[in-house]
């Protein structure tokens, strides 16, 4: 098929064949090719072509966490981890930067044979011998680079300089893919730590699940994750027989309704239609609203939260005042050293970390204080390097929030403090004759007073593509997560990002899939969303969303809430969906051309003349993007709990909103497994516009099936 299309665009047979990069044939029909603008236009006009999509690049969204979520190996047999036999037999496919197969995270001790359904393999290369690299844990490993080479216009895999920066194989140069895959399904690896911090046994969420790596992201100038390679990776994963796809990558925030044809949403649709649950990171562009990525409704989109672990470091001033910062410093106590701050031309302005440079010899032999503004986190590594180059003895960074420690060194005192503490340190420096500071090594602290926060960097809703579909869906740990990496100075590293949050959910999905093999991707997503925590699982305090000012988290910050795996195994009711729901209740009302939809699904489709409203799409949340007076919303729930059950509705209405549910009671029995209900939502707001949040909970006295509600009120249109 790809050859026929190319020959229509280019009569030169040899040139047409050479221009084809990939053929996609397992999940959907398509191909990637090098085209001129005129050729692309000609192919786009052919009657059997759904869409011609320009190629583009995606970016990566970079032990205690499982105990924190209640999935400890020491918990009772009713724990999901034990009931699901740790995910044995489930296959997690990961699209990322590759894998370091020699890591202890991929040992196959205690694992049985490779699942018989598996059709994949490990791809051989000079530095990747499948006989040694793969086993009963790592059962698949492939790499895809043709799309990137076509984009760059050069066969970089044959470039000698390429091999100094990358591996021409599934092997991981960056470390990101090793970190994410070991978080999702890594085996038990004892005696793990980061230079002694967070010491213990690390493992993935589903330690007996099998892993398959699809390397689609490359460490190369102007490289990243090429869309054509991503599509090929997903297509291969569908063929190979994975149960779950975990993607910790994304592109710039989508702005147009047809984005699903240009993003992970399009190929992931075919994965979901093949029964594969797709989990994606939500992006790291928070706390700005409408920045959440990978927002297609069939995807589980994940926000990043903190856990109850911190790394406090004591800061002692010459006047004996003490402060606590956050650090990864594991060296010796420094003793008292001069602390300095480079004043700007305006005495009142804060000196920011990105202004430090190698000419700052005044920092030699001293501890430097600087301020870091939101969005400049990447400049921290440069500032740290500068201070060391000029002979500085330490760096204190004032920033909000202070939790993310990716760029902090273990062998050099580099400490994060809040802006408030930074201001107090600055006063001490300015008004003391000989300001001195002593920095102590870091220790690991678990439990109170640290509580759950949604990370400031975690991308926020509302959904810019389909405002009636809530995104993100769920939150999971994504701050200072310890997992395996490509070995350099250490075998394990702390990384932060929604990239780290997504594989937590992927691991939990593997457990749920093992326990409930017949649940659809929609049912699994519903179970996660409707059972999530809105309060800290240990302290009971509200989960806080970090930002310019902290606030109690709402659905645009964390969807249903923080993932609660043990509750998700028995949700009571689920909001289930299948093929026809996605086509007729989403793709049609989103405005896709019916013939295009038909070609996407390889069948004939006729959208109704009167389209259903997107607010009726059967997701486990309710989002009204524009409410002026009254709207009625329909949902259908499926009983997956006790056969004979009776559920009553509990409404927590958003401020100024009235909600009536009909019927108020749902009665299930052997012949009634699905029941539909309606909610009539009205506003009393006459003079204000804004977002308001609440919830609908169905309960039988044991289960609590909670759907988050978000309503944006609009001022009534003027009469006449």
Which range has the top average pLDDT, 8-12, 126-130, 189-193, 488-492?
126-130
| Options 459, 499, 520, 707, the catalytic residue | 499
Verify that 459 and 427 share a domain, yes or no: no
Evaluate whether residue 254 is within a structural domain.
yes
pLDDT score of 271: 95
Over 60: is that where the pLDDT of 375 sits? no
- With vertex at residue 592, the alpha carbon angle to CA 586 and CA 594, rounded to the nearest 5 degrees, is 100
Asked about 262 being catalytic, the answer comes back as: no
Instruction: Tell me the mean pLDDT in the region 79-93.
Output: 95
The string of pLDDT tens digits covering residues 301-341 is: 999 999 888 888 999 999 999 999 888 888 899 999 999 99
Q: What gap in Å lies between CA 652 and CA 534, rounded to an integer?
A: 14
265 falls within a domain: yes
Do 271 and 318 lie in one domain? The reply is no
Parent domain of 11: 2-44
- Catalytic one of 96, 172, 294, 308: 96
Q: Which residues pair with 593 in a beta bridge?
A: none
| Residue 429 pLDDT level (bands cut at 50, 70, 90) | very high
Instruction: Please determine, for residue 62, whether its predicted confidence score (pLDDT) is greater than 50.
Output: no
In a domain, 593, yes or no: no
Give a yes or no: residue 336 inside a domain: yes
Same-domain check for residues 228 and 154: yes
Q: Is 49 within a domain?
A: no
CA distance 416 to 422: 9
CATH number reported for the structural domain that contains residue 118 in this entry: 3.40.50.200
Distance, in Å, from the CA atom of 373 to the CA atom of 351, rounded to the nearest integer, reads 10
Residues 73 and 94 in one domain: yes
473 with 552, same domain?
Answer: yes
Closest CA to 526 of 265, 277, 694, 209: 277
CA pair distance 715, 720, nearest whole angstrom = 15
The mean of the pLDDT values for the chain is: 87
Tell me if residue 96 is catalytic: yes
Can you give the CATH number for the domain in which 700 is found? 2.60.40.2310
For residues 200 and 290, membership in a common domain is answered with yes
pTM of the model: 0.87
Give CA separation, 52 vs 39, 102, 402, 513, in Å.
10, 41, 44, 35
Last residue of a domain, one of 538, 553, 571: 571
- pLDDT above 50 for 259: no
362 & 463 share domain: no
Note the pLDDT of residue 60. 56
* Averaged pLDDT, 419-444: 92
Q: What is the pLDDT of residue 330?
A: 84
CA atoms within 13 A of residue 360's CA, in its CB half-sphere: 27
Final residue belonging to a domain, choices 404, 425, 443:
443
- Cα–Cα dist 203/504, whole Å: 11
Residue 340 and residue 400 in one domain: yes
| 630 within a domain of the structure (yes/no) | yes
Q: Same domain, yes or no, for 34 and 62?
A: no
Q: Does one domain contain both 461 and 542?
A: yes
- Enter the tokens of residue 528: 């996660």
pLDDT in tens, 138-149: 999 999 999 998
Enclosing H/E stretch for 15: helix 13-19
Clarify whether residues 14 and 87 are in a common domain.
no
The DSSP code sequence of 57-125 is EEEE---HHHHHTT--TTS-TTSHHHHTGGGTT-EEEEEES-B-TTSGGG--TT--SPPTT----BPPB
Q: Which of 176, 195, 453, 685 is catalytic?
A: 176
pLDDT(28) > 70: no
Total domain count for the chain? 4
pLDDT computed for residue 11 by the predictor: 61
Instruction: Mean pLDDT check: name the lowest of 218-232, 427-441, 570-584, 590-604.
Output: 590-604
Same-domain status, 28 and 110: no
Q: Phi and psi (nearest 5°) for 77?
A: -60, -20
């Amino acid at each position: 098929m790809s050859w026929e299309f190319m020959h229509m665009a280019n009569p030169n047979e040899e040139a047409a064949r050479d221009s084809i990069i990939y053929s996609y044939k397992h999940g959907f029909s398509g191909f990637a090719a090098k085209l001129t603008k005129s050729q692309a236009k000609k192919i786009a006009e052919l009657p059997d072509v759904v869409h011609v999509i320009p190629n583009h690049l995606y970016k990566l969204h970079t032990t205690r966490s499982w105990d924190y979520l209640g999935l400890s190996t020491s918990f009772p047999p009713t724990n999901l981890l034990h009931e699901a036999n740790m995910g044995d037999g489930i296959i997690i496919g990961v699209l990322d930067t590759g894998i370091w197969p020699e890591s202890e995270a991929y040992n196959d001790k205690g694992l049985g044979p490779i699942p018989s359904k598996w059709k994949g393999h490990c791809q051989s290369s000079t530095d990747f011998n499948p006989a040694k690299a793969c086993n009963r844990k790592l059962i698949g490993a492939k790499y895809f680079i043709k799309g990137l080479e076509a984009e760059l216009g050069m066969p970089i895999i044959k470039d000698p300089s390429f091999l100094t920066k990358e591996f021409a194989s599934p092997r991981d140069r960056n470390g990101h893919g090793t970190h994410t895959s070991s978080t999702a399904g890594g085996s038990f690896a004892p005696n793990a730590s980061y230079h002694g911090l967070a010491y213990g046994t690390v493992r993935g969420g589903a330690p007996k699940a099998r892993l398959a790596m699809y390397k689609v992201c490359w460490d190369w100038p102007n490289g990243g994750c090429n869309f054509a390679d991503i599509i090929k990776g997903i297509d291969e994963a569908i063929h190979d027989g994975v149960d779950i796809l975990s993607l910790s990558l994304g592109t710039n925030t989508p702005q147009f309704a047809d984005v699903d044809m240009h993003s992970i949403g399009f190929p992931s649709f075919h994965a979901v239609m093949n029964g594969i649950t797709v989990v994606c990171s939500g992006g790291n562009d928070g706390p700005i609203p409408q920045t959440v990525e990978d927002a297609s409704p069939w995807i589980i989109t994940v926000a990043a939260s903190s856990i109850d672990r911190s790394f406090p470091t004591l800061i002692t001033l010459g006047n004996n005042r003490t402060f606590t910062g956050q650090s990864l410093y594991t060296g010796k106590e420094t003793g008292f050293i001069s602390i300095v701050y480079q004043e700007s031309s305006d005495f009142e302005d804060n000196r920011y970390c990105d202004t430090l440079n190698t000419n700052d010899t005044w920092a030699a032999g001293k501890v430097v204080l600087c301020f870091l503004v939101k969005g400049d986190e990447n400049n921290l590594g440069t500032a740290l390097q500068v201070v060391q180059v000029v002979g500085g003895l330490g760096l204190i960074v004032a920033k909000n929030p202070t939790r993310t420690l990716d760029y902090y060194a273990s062998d050099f005192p580099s400490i994060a403090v809040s802006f408030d503490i930074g201001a107090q340190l600055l006063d001490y420096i300015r008004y003391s004759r000989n300001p001195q500071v002593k920095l102590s090594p870091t220790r690991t602290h678990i439990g109170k007073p640290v509580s759950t926060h949604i990370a400031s960097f975690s991308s926020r809703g509302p959904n810019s593509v389909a405002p009636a579909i809530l995104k993100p869906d769920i939150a999971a740990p994504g701050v200072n997560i310890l997992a395996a990496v490509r070995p350099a100075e250490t075998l394990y590293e702390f990384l932060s990002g929604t990239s780290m949050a997504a594989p937590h959910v992927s691991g939990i999905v593997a457990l749920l899939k093992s326990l409930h093999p017949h649940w659809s991707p929609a049912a699994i997503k519903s179970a996660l969303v409707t059972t999530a925590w809105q309060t800290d699982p240990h302290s009971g305090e509200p989960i806080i969303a970090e930002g310019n000012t902290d606030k109690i988290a709402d659905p645009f910050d964390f969807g249903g809430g923080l993932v609660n795996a043990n509750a998700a195994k028995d949700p009571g009711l689920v909001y289930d969906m299948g093929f026809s729901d996605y086509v007729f209740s989403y793709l049609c009302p989103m405005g896709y051309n019916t013939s295009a939809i038909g070609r996407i699904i390889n069948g004939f489709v006729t959208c109704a003349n009167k389209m259903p409203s997107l607010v009726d799409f059967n997701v486990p949340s309710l989002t009204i993007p524009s409410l002026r007076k009254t709207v009625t919303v329909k949902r259908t729930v499926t009983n997956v709990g006790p056969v004979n059950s009776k559920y009553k509705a509990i409404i927590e209405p958003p401020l100024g909103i009235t909600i009536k549910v009909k019927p108020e009671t749902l009665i299930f029995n052997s012949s009634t497994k699905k029941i539909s209900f309606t909610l009539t939502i009205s506003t009393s707001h006459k003079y204000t516009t804004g977002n308001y949040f609440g919830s609908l909970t169905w309960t039988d006295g044991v289960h609590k099936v909670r759907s988050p509600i978000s309503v944006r009120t609009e001022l009534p249109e003027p009469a006449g």
